[in-house]
Structure 1
Amino acid sequence: MPIIHSFKAILPHPTKAEKVVIHLENLSLESAKEIRSINPESFVHLLVPKIENHYLRGSKTEITFQKIAENFDDFIQKNILMKDDTANIYIYRQENSQHSYTGIWTASSIDDYINNKIKKHELTRAEREKGLIEYLQQTGIDANPVLITYPENQKLEAFIKNEINKDSAIKISLDGTDHQVWRVSDLDKVNEIIQIFKEMPDTYIADGHHRAAAASTYGIERRKLNLKHKGTEDYNFFSSVYISSNQLSVLPFHRFVKLTEHQNSNGIIASIRKEFELTEIDVKDLIPTQPHFVGFYIQHKAYQINLKKHLKNDVLADLDVSIIQEKILSPLFQIDNPREDQRLQFVGGNVDLLTYIKKVDEGIFDMGFLLFPISVAELIKIADIGEIMPPKSTWFEPKFLAGLITHQIN
């Protein structure tokens, strides 16, 4: 069912790839500036450029985008980045001592997103979409792919297995993880992949709802302005990586809360005890090992919250994140807009939770709720019935390197 499209990707020169690519997750402005100052070939120059002429006319945003465009052209001219001569589909592998992920890196149709053939489980924020649209419009750089998953497909897995026996176009190692890219250039093989995807059932966004939404909105606007629109232009597609659902890693987003001056920790503990079975545990057992149990850390003590009495035999309502939101965060803290409330901080992915427990002990936060991850099967069920998960319900891996494969929207 999904329509995918080959494209002329922009990749780093194989000898420069390790210097070009960059992790976007948790990249602070300070870190970006530091990388920029020591590495003239880093992709960070296409994200946070250094503005040397402060007398240029225009707004700060306009000047920034102008500099990004200049840096992009400069990277191409210097062969730091190189555009493929032919339209390809790409195979991508990420592998370390714990995990291996292999998938198809391609361009997905904005129509599939709009028509819900690529299904969603998360709402997007207009403000964030606007910023991404502006970046696409001003730079044409589509460098952070949307992660899309699908039920295991034997035809596609067999195709991938055959292709990765060949030499890869790029192979780099970064922070203990190997990244490889293979080009699929043969037209018959490209068409074979496209046909396999056409025969698939629905696919599902795992990570990148805002990027997909922004690309789709931007593409629709470009169509209106192009009197010779054909449907094959790059603005009709967005960069995406398809990885089978049996390969994905799903990690939780934990919740850390700061009390207001009118609240106290003893009152919160008492309120939670009224609604749930609350058991004191050892700190080392804080991270739950099964669903419907939540680790709760407060006043230098660790507890386990049993959520089972609030199960309703409803796939969305029975998510741990839903119960925590509806039964604790909203009624006890009046956190009704968790995305925007400054008292709430989400901590996702592979992080050192002891650091955050220490922040509770030091009073930066007053408490933490540690959750068990949602399964891919639950995500698919929720997307299939058209429901939306609470904000920050899932942290999916793999995450991708910016600058490894860039889709250019001219």
Structure 2
Amino acid sequence: MTRIKPFRAVRPTRDKVSLVASRSYQTYTKKEIEGRLDYNPFSFLHIINPGYKYEHKITGKERYEMVRNRYLEFKENQVFIQDESPCFYVYKIVNREGHEFSGIIAAASTADYEAGIIKRHEDTIAYREHIFKEYLKITQFNAEPVLLTYPDNRVISEIIKETQKARAEFEFTTTYRDTHYLWILSDVKHIDRIEKAFASIPTVYVADGHHRLASSHLLAKEMALEGAKDAYNYFMSYLIPESELRIFEFNRLVTDLNGLSKEAFLIQLDANFRIENRGKNLYRPSKKHHFSMYLDGCFYSLYLRSSYAMKTALDALDTQILYTTVLKPILGITDLRNDTRIAYSQGKNNLVTVKAKVDSGAFAVGFGLVPVSIFELKAIADAGETMPPKSTCITPKLRSGVTIYEF
């Protein structure tokens, strides 16, 4: 039984939403951030980078308190307004490739996460959880939803389609050429039907935002001890059906061959793979357990040998196979999160990027993979296992500051 509920979102006024909405802070270059802060007084980046106007770098609790102050200023200046009654929000994104994502922004339960009704497929880092938990406690809002996915549901789909027949409250296109739409769903009958439809779904899965969810869960447990209000027991989520989720791969790049010559490296690979030199022709794998490798100016196909044992869903995951057969035993990389010898390239950037980085001399070898499927993601989450870091690059990506959940 999945519990979601409507909430009174704080959101930009219709005329300012395109100016307020921002990508995640980490995705901007320093020059991009400075440009937006210099020329766009309404950008949400002003809230999360509050020391900019003082030309002073602020960290820790002082920064969190100033984030809270900037947020309140946006409300006082009526850049943000708050809906009078609890609502669900139907949200659609049409990306530059024409792919559509439609789902519901709602408050989801941290208790469901603790109970395993909301399942994860990635590990989180404890210190990051605690840092963001303190951030949430002081700022008292969620500004970027956790992306959850659920099995396609006829009732939910019908309500979403019916809602989208009306004019959207928000419609704006980003510089990435993605168009965003938001509809306010306030009809109590539709709200009740949506709540009941989700209550019939036994499990939903975290697609993106594992640290944000884990931090919200930590905060809920802490605030429960302080007798805080019920709002802390929920977090803002964007729920979309599994059929609309798009998963891309992360390709791997390694700086050196761990002291091996090219010939010695290929000989060690032969123990687990059938290897074919494809020369200069770009080779992209198209099947599970097939890998692409770019080494010394040539592409190679690596086909996993049938003798490789797979006992669990994790054993059969290509990122895990590459780790257990190549990265760890041959190249000596044991810590995929922190070892500076390994880097990752989104599948969206394709293997041309991998080739260019190896040709530049920055890396000795690159590996291409096929994307993880939704079935693999669910199987690993259902088994209580977690994928290696950078196993999935999942879309859609929402903008920060379009809907805000207050504690």
Is 1:389 matched up with 2:390? Answer: no
Q: Give distance in 1, aligned partners of 2:351 and 2:391.
A: 17
Q: Give distance in 2, aligned partners of 1:299 and 1:203.
A: 44
From 294, 303, 306, give the equivalent of 2:291.
Answer: 294
Alignment of 1:320-335 (within 5 A): 320-335=318-333
The alpha-carbon deviation at position 185 of structure 1 amounts to 0.8
Question: What SS class does the counterpart of residue 367 from structure 2 fall into?
Answer: strand
Task: Return closer, same or farther for 1:55/1:120 CA change in 2, 3 Å cut-off.
Answer: closer
**Which residue is 2:371 aligned to?**
373
* C-alpha contact 1:106 1:241 (8 A) present in aligned 2: yes
Q: Give distance in 2, aligned partners of 1:399 and 1:51.
A: 26
Task: Return closer, same or farther for 1:272/1:172 CA change in 2, 3 Å cut-off.
Answer: same
Is 1:239 matched up with 2:236? Answer: yes
Task: Return closer, same or farther for 1:168/1:301 CA change in 2, 3 Å cut-off.
Answer: same
Q: Give distance in 2, aligned partners of 1:132 and 1:6.
A: 24
**Which residue is 2:212 aligned to?**
211
**Which residue is 2:109 aligned to?**
109
* C-alpha contact 1:107 1:238 (8 A) present in aligned 2: yes
Is 1:315 matched up with 2:316? Answer: no
The alpha-carbon deviation at position 264 of structure 1 amounts to 4.1
**Which residue is 2:190 aligned to?**
189
**2:391 counterpart letter in structure 1:** S
The alpha-carbon deviation at position 283 of structure 1 amounts to 4.8
* C-alpha contact 1:143 1:403 (8 A) present in aligned 2: yes
Q: Which runs of 5+ in 2 are unaligned?
A: none
The alpha-carbon deviation at position 344 of structure 1 amounts to 0.9
Question: What SS class does the counterpart of residue 138 from structure 2 fall into?
Answer: helix
Q: Give distance in 2, aligned partners of 1:55 and 1:374.
A: 43
Question: What SS class does the counterpart of residue 274 from structure 1 fall into?
Answer: coil
* C-alpha contact 2:290 2:304 (8 A) present in aligned 1: yes
**Which residue is 1:33 aligned to?**
34
Cα deviation, 1:242-291, whole Å, max 9, x if unaligned, reads 11111111100111111277344443233213331111125553322221
RMSD: 2.0
**2:180 counterpart letter in structure 1:** H
Greater mean deviation of Cα atoms: 97-106 or 109-118 = 97-106
**Which residue is 1:68 aligned to?**
67
Q: Give distance in 1, aligned partners of 2:56 and 2:382.
A: 53
Task: Return closer, same or farther for 1:320/1:15 CA change in 2, 3 Å cut-off.
Answer: same
Task: Return closer, same or farther for 1:181/1:273 CA change in 2, 3 Å cut-off.
Answer: same
Q: Give distance in 1, aligned partners of 2:181 and 2:55.
A: 40
**Which residue is 1:162 aligned to?**
162
* C-alpha contact 1:293 1:371 (8 A) present in aligned 2: yes
* C-alpha contact 1:33 1:48 (8 A) present in aligned 2: no
The alpha-carbon deviation at position 364 of structure 1 amounts to 0.9
**Which residue is 1:140 aligned to?**
140
From 344, 347, 350, give the equivalent of 2:342.
Answer: 344
**1:138 counterpart letter in structure 2:** I
Task: Return closer, same or farther for 1:70/1:407 CA change in 2, 3 Å cut-off.
Answer: same
**1:327 counterpart letter in structure 2:** T
**2:165 counterpart letter in structure 1:** N
Q: Give distance in 2, aligned partners of 1:394 and 1:260.
A: 25
**1:325 counterpart letter in structure 2:** Y
The alpha-carbon deviation at position 33 of structure 1 amounts to 3.0
* C-alpha contact 1:346 1:392 (8 A) present in aligned 2: yes
Q: Give distance in 2, aligned partners of 1:208 and 1:360.
A: 31
Q: Which runs of 5+ in 1 are unaligned?
A: none
* C-alpha contact 1:142 1:238 (8 A) present in aligned 2: yes
Q: Give distance in 2, aligned partners of 1:8 and 1:190.
A: 13
**1:213 counterpart letter in structure 2:** A
Question: What SS class does the counterpart of residue 168 from structure 1 fall into?
Answer: coil
* C-alpha contact 1:43 1:403 (8 A) present in aligned 2: yes
Task: Return closer, same or farther for 1:272/1:390 CA change in 2, 3 Å cut-off.
Answer: same
Greater mean deviation of Cα atoms: 297-306 or 350-359 = 350-359
Question: What SS class does the counterpart of residue 330 from structure 2 fall into?
Answer: helix
* C-alpha contact 2:277 2:300 (8 A) present in aligned 1: yes
Question: What SS class does the counterpart of residue 364 from structure 1 fall into?
Answer: coil
Q: Give distance in 2, aligned partners of 1:300 and 1:32.
A: 37
**Which residue is 1:79 aligned to?**
78
Q: Give distance in 2, aligned partners of 1:135 and 1:405.
A: 18
Cα deviation, 1:50-76, whole Å, max 9, x if unaligned, reads 3455899xx732332222112111111
Q: Give distance in 1, aligned partners of 2:249 and 2:108.
A: 27
**1:178 counterpart letter in structure 2:** T
**1:190 counterpart letter in structure 2:** I
Alignment of 1:241-260 (within 5 A): 241-259=238-256
Task: Return closer, same or farther for 1:278/1:193 CA change in 2, 3 Å cut-off.
Answer: same
Task: Return closer, same or farther for 1:245/1:54 CA change in 2, 3 Å cut-off.
Answer: closer
The alpha-carbon deviation at position 34 of structure 1 amounts to 3.1
Greater mean deviation of Cα atoms: 398-407 or 304-313 = 304-313
Task: Return closer, same or farther for 1:55/1:142 CA change in 2, 3 Å cut-off.
Answer: closer
* C-alpha contact 2:258 2:332 (8 A) present in aligned 1: no
**1:79 counterpart letter in structure 2:** Q
The alpha-carbon deviation at position 311 of structure 1 amounts to 5.0
Identity across aligned pairs (percent)?
Answer: 29
The alpha-carbon deviation at position 103 of structure 1 amounts to 0.5
**2:91 counterpart letter in structure 1:** Y
Question: What SS class does the counterpart of residue 123 from structure 2 fall into?
Answer: coil
TM-score by length of 1: 0.93
Question: What SS class does the counterpart of residue 402 from structure 1 fall into?
Answer: coil
**Which residue is 1:400 aligned to?**
398
Question: What SS class does the counterpart of residue 349 from structure 2 fall into?
Answer: coil
